[in-house]
Every structure is written in C-alpha cells, then in structure tokens.
Structure 1
Amino acid sequence: MGRKYVECRDFSGDDHCSEVLTGNNDEELMEAVIKHAINMHGMANTTDFRTKVSMTFKEGTPTH
C-alpha cells in the first residue's frame, strides 16, 4: 500500500488553506489531519469528523 494524503481545501471547502497532509497509512494521516483541523481550524475531534475526513483520503503523492 502506498502513501496517503489529503488536501485541506478539498475537505473543508476553505480555498485559503493550501495544507496538504501525508502519511504512510490511514492512522498516521488521520493523526496529522486531526492535529491540523484542531489547531488551524478549531474543529472538534469527533467520530463524525473522523468518518467524513477519512472518505477524502487519496492514495499516492500530491501533484502540487
């Protein structure tokens, strides 16, 4: 299995956040996403948030 990533602007709809988070697996990526979401966007670490964001994970390497 390859690396995973998520682009913040794809999930949050916030065009101003250009953060791209990567991880070697789902768990590592989720930890990075949660830290970013709490610290930068004031999100809460809930089961619903984790479920929604996990559906935005992509495999591979970001193109930008």
Structure 2
Amino acid sequence: MGRKFIDCREIPSDVKCSLALVADTENELVEAAVLHAVNVHHHQDTPELRNRIRSAIREGSPPAEAAHRAA
C-alpha cells in the first residue's frame, strides 16, 4: 500500500495555503482534508467537497516545492 497525499498549493485559494497532507489510506486522508477545508478555508462539509478532495488525491509524497502556486 503506497502513501497518498493532497497538496493545498495545487488548489486555487484566497488563503494561499501551503499545507500538504499525507496518509496511508484514502479515507484517512479525506477525513483530515475535510477538517482542514472546513476549519481553514471555511468550506461546508458536503458530498461535493468530499468528491473534490478525493479527485485531488495523488499517490506518493508531495514535492518539496509546488509545481505552481495557487492564485
């Protein structure tokens, strides 16, 4: 089982967040990312948010530097 990650630097945001979350399972990662999205980015925990988070999950570990900075 490989690591999975989501990197806020790759998601457009007014906050310009630099947080990256890493976990062994997709479910664990989604739960952590939802908490972050709700508490920091003020999103509502909805099925649509969870689907967007799941679609942003990648295999491996986040790069040390972002490919591009979210606007």
- Tell me if both proteins adopt one fold, taking TM over 0.5 as the criterion: yes
Q: CA deviation at 1:5?
A: 0.3
Identity %: 35
Measure how far apart 1:28 and its partner are: 0.5
Runs of 4+ off more than 3 Å: none
Residue aligned with 2:40, SS: helix
Aligned length: 63
Q: Which structure ranks higher in relative contact order (CA pairs < 8 Å, sequence separation ≥ 6)?
A: 2
Distance of 2:49 and 2:9 partners within structure 1: 15
5+ residue gaps, structure 1:
none
Q: Deviations over 1:14-44 (max 9, x none)?
A: 2720000111110010011011001101011
For 1:52 and 1:58, locate their aligned partners in 2 and report how far apart those are by CA, in whole Å.
12
Structure with bigger helix share is 1
Q: Greater CA radius of gyration, 1 or 2?
A: 2
* Secondary structure, aligned partner of 1:45: coil
What are the ranges of 5 or more consecutive residues in structure 2 without an aligned counterpart?
65-71
Alpha-carbon RMSD across the aligned residues, in angstroms, is 1.3
Residue type of the alignment partner of 2:10: D
Q: Does 1:25 align with 2:25?
A: yes
